[in-house]
Structure 1
Amino acid sequence: MHVLVIGGGISGLAAAHQLLALGARVTVLEAGSRLGGKLLTGSVAGAAAVDLGAESLLARRPEAVELARAVGLGGQLQPPSVAGGAIWTRGAVRAMPRGHLMGVPGDPAALGGVLSPEGLARIAEDGRLPRTEVGDDVSVGGHVARRLGREVVDRLVEPLLGGVYAGDAYRISMRAAVPQLFEAVREERSLLAAVRAVQDRAAARPAPAGPVFMGIEGGVGRLPLAVAEACAAQGADIRLNTPVRELRRVAPGGGGPGWLAVTDHEALSADGVVLTAPAPAAARLLAPHAPAAATALDEVEYASMALVTLAFRRSEADRIPDGSGFLVPPVDGRAIKAATFSAHKWSWVAAQDPSLFVLRTSLGRYGEERMLERDDAELVELSLRDLRAATGLDARPVDSVVSRWDRGLPQYPVGHLDRVAAVRAAVGAVPGLAVAGAPYEGVGVPACVAGGRRAAHDVLESAGSADPADEDARQR
């Protein structure tokens, strides 16, 4: 059986890897000039390798780490060298308060210095408020603000969720982003009790072995390239600069392949298609075959962001504090939303050139698209200004690299999981077709790998069930 995988990001490559393991013949079609999607390595200061996209893998979800080991990167997996986060707020870089769940506190006593006395007093009202019904879904920020006050959202929840989704906490779905808290909120009378219930359940389970996060020596951006190399070694045909302009269902007769993917130069036939393109491109290709899915995907919004990687002489970066970096609440009015001290966080970064100190900042959130309209030099200067204010760093970098991720992160507003369910139902009604990627699975690498594997199984299970006589009924 021949399957086309449309999209060469980590979801598509994971799907291709799984399809090959299941005995399929695979062609990967990537519209751009490189593989890997949001996973990308580059260099700064001449030779120092750095991640210019995602830099770590959630190791408590096994899929990405398993894939790395399967393609020969097991020996290069490394945990962070330092643990614990920080937050830059109210004029100081402070340790992240303990006992929180994506910024939602379970222990108000740990919030001194981050919240004002008025904010702390507002939290105390949670136990006296009547129970808040959340229905089928609720925004994280909206519910937390009702129960604990806006200051908790603005100072704690926003920077945590912003670090993951580059989103707006007052729009992000609790059911999608923090599902365990959503379930507890439906059971408990107060939000503090719900957080503690989640923490108690976690404490009652055996602690998973190993670190929470993993990186890869040389950069997480090596992962998709290693997967592609493994796929090619098993006979996969991987093509760059090959956008798919149209998907066609083949008319019945002869038992031949059921799909044609029309590119600029040819029409490729296949028994099945795994579609891992971003939501707008996926919607366009799905419209003739699963119009309900296309309509739902047209509603998916994205956030844009930029990463500024800076290399300093280590002798001039001695004021950088210990730790992996810090998050920044939007309410403080800073340009950057986070800083990662890569030379502290990853031993392999520090070891490449001991004379350099490498760090990176991130700028841009949902609704801040104009941030990316600034030129590279201005983004560097904004980063340096904020780093100086946060840490006292007053040096000029020896080199800088600006990476722009336009429409890089899909947003998960209230109702997102219902939208995903609608897409899956519509696509599932079309034999030989499956979807995967961050708009459905989650923005983390393990979630995308899991989605690609699931799509591989789905497309093989459904490809043989095609009955083109039912095509008109499906479209109606």
Structure 2
Amino acid sequence: MVQASLAVIGGGVTGLVAARRLAGAGHDVTLFEAGARLGGQVRTVEMLGQPVDVGAESLHLAGPNAQLLDELGLTDQLITADSSFAWIWDGARRRRLPAGMGPAGPTRMWPIVRSGALSPLGMARAGLEPLLPATREQRTGAQGDVSVGSFIGRRFGAEVTDRLVDPVLGSLHAGDVHRLSMRAATPMLAAKAARHRSLLLGSVRSAHPAPSFVTFANGLATLIDHILAGTNVRVRLSSPVETIARSGRRFRLVETGADGSEFDGVVVALPAAPALGLMQPLLGVDAAPLGTLRTASVATAVVAWDAASAASCDPLRATGILTPAKARTLMKAATFLSTKWPHLRHPDHVLFRLSAGRVGEQRVAALTDGQLVDQMVDELQRATGLTGSPLQAQVYRWPGAIPQLEVGHLEKLANVRAGLARLPGLALAGAAYDGLGISSCIASGHRSAEALIDELVLNEEAQP
């Protein structure tokens, strides 16, 4: 195969993986990143001499993650998270998150009963799930979309959705479970629903161990530092691409304040808003759905606390707290880093990671860093009984960073990609399209690179 000149726009996990795969196939690759660093929503900072991740916090040992880690020779450097439990706090009462409860709903009933998270009526309603007929979506096998909240509500009742699924899935996506797409946001739930009438009975029949969550001694920056190691990818930091234009069979990229360069193919690994700006001149109305994809702005506060004060706080034996949207708290989640991660335990201090921000909210933007810390620390103390005050706190803001994979998402993306199919050599990839989390980003980057490689082969074979 003839070596092609290729560009990747965006230096997050998706773009890095795409660039690595394209370079590995023997192509000449240039990666353009508008910011001053690589990694996107993976960012490791230092707090009192310890590495803390303030974007993505961990990855799990399954699927494309495990494959990439092996390929990079990083598997033996992994640190596994503590397997303790988490709390749910509704602003007034704190209860254990039931075992077997994940973003896609419950897999076991008895832990829910023991948790006290549901009212007697709510428990009775959830207990009917194995007896209920298949929902309309399950009966017809239709490709029509449904929200996670709607589907779980039909199977288990509204309390399971609002009190259990929302704190987990809603916190993860900073979203509204009554708008998040079952097919796009929770594909494993969609697959289970298609195979089994009852989700509880289906979980028993297809039970498998939950994946381990892992990181590195120096944080997830270790992964970012290794993805392009050993490749010939040229990295251009602080190099925002202003336009992409067709130039015969090639693409002409123009950077801010620089002359244009031509490439045989381009992977756009950007959030929806900047991707729309670059692709609309090429795709016209086919790019319009990108402008309808909502995002949430979030903030992370890393807080250090005196270890002696924290030692007497029994709730800190858990790994963290989740709050349902109906609680209306600013803090949507707290991770007790020094409990969860063995390498972050220190004799003098403990570390917390506090998160705020949900789709449609303006509170995070309206508050100063100091106000964010004060309010979330107050909520942390009310939720746990922790006494004292922070030794140190740092706030990191992520405006418009969390894409909302809402009902209709896959249909919108199908329209965009139908337009892309008429422009061979141009690909779109990233969390905004193919799912949140490092695993989804790795898979998206790899798929976009493979598709571009296949198109280059076909173009070469078609040449006289």
TM-score by length of 1: 0.88
**Pair 1:338-2:333 in alignment:** yes
- 1:178 CA drift (Å): 2.6
What's the counterpart of residue 273 of structure 1?
Answer: 266
Q: 1:48-104: per-residue Cα shift (whole Å, max 9, x none)? A: 22111111112122x234334434533421111334333224744332213435262
Q: 1:4-24: per-residue Cα shift (whole Å, max 9, x none)? A: 000011100111111111111
Going from structure 1 to structure 2, the CA distance change for 1:20 and 1:127 (only over 3 Å counts) comes to closer
What's the counterpart of residue 65 of structure 2?
Answer: 64
> In the alignment, is the contact (CA less than 8 A) between 1:42 and 1:51 conserved in 2?
yes
> In the alignment, is the contact (CA less than 8 A) between 1:57 and 1:65 conserved in 2?
no
- Tell me the C-alpha RMSD between the 2 structures: 2.3
CA distance in 2, matches of 1:440, 1:217: 31
Could you say what secondary structure the match of 2:332 adopts? Answer: strand
CA distance in 1, matches of 2:215, 2:435: 19
Going from structure 1 to structure 2, the CA distance change for 1:224 and 1:356 (only over 3 Å counts) comes to same
What's the counterpart of residue 55 of structure 2?
Answer: 53
Q: 1:296-348: per-residue Cα shift (whole Å, max 9, x none)? A: 21111111111111011211111152121121112223221111011111112
> In the alignment, is the contact (CA less than 8 A) between 2:130 and 2:199 conserved in 1?
no
What's the counterpart of residue 245 of structure 2?
Answer: 248
Partner AA of 2:126 in structure 1: I
CA distance in 1, matches of 2:155, 2:22: 47
Could you say what secondary structure the match of 1:259 adopts? Answer: strand
CA distance in 1, matches of 2:179, 2:357: 16
> In the alignment, is the contact (CA less than 8 A) between 2:130 and 2:200 conserved in 1?
no
**Pair 1:372-2:365 in alignment:** yes
> In the alignment, is the contact (CA less than 8 A) between 1:104 and 1:195 conserved in 2?
no
Among 326, 343, 352, which residue is 2:321 paired with? Answer: 326
CA distance in 2, matches of 1:127, 1:454: 37
Could you say what secondary structure the match of 2:239 adopts? Answer: coil
**Equivalent pairs, count:** 447
> In the alignment, is the contact (CA less than 8 A) between 2:86 and 2:321 conserved in 1?
yes
Partner AA of 1:160 in structure 2: V
What's the counterpart of residue 254 of structure 2?
Answer: 262
More moved, 166-175 vs 125-134: 125-134
Partner AA of 2:213 in structure 1: F
What's the counterpart of residue 148 of structure 2?
Answer: 140
- 1:123 CA drift (Å): 2.8
- 1:40 CA drift (Å): 0.1
TM-score by length of 2: 0.90
CA distance in 2, matches of 1:445, 1:73: 15
Partner AA of 1:60 in structure 2: A
> In the alignment, is the contact (CA less than 8 A) between 2:81 and 2:212 conserved in 1?
no
Q: 1:266-299: per-residue Cα shift (whole Å, max 9, x none)? A: 1011111011011111112111222354112111
Could you say what secondary structure the match of 1:317 adopts? Answer: helix
CA distance in 1, matches of 2:447, 2:259: 29
**Pair 1:202-2:207 in alignment:** yes
- 1:130 CA drift (Å): 5.9
Partner AA of 1:235 in structure 2: N
Could you say what secondary structure the match of 1:460 adopts? Answer: helix
> In the alignment, is the contact (CA less than 8 A) between 1:133 and 1:186 conserved in 2?
no
What's the counterpart of residue 232 of structure 2?
Answer: 235
- 1:234 CA drift (Å): 2.8
Partner AA of 1:398 in structure 2: L
More moved, 32-41 vs 114-123: 114-123
**Pair 1:44-2:36 in alignment:** no
**Pair 1:27-2:30 in alignment:** yes
Partner AA of 1:278 in structure 2: P
**Pair 1:179-2:180 in alignment:** no
What's the counterpart of residue 14 of structure 2?
Answer: 11
Going from structure 1 to structure 2, the CA distance change for 1:67 and 1:119 (only over 3 Å counts) comes to same
CA distance in 2, matches of 1:446, 1:128: 35
- 1:241 CA drift (Å): 1.2
Identity percentage of aligned residues: 36
- Mind listing any 5+ residue stretches in structure 1 that lack a counterpart? 253-257, 468-476
Matched ranges for 1:96-245 at <5 A: 96-102=97-103, 104-112=105-113, 113-124=116-127, 126=129, 131-134=134-137, 135=142, 136-186=144-194, 193-203=198-208, 212-228=212-228, 230=229, 233-245=230-242
Could you say what secondary structure the match of 2:281 adopts? Answer: coil
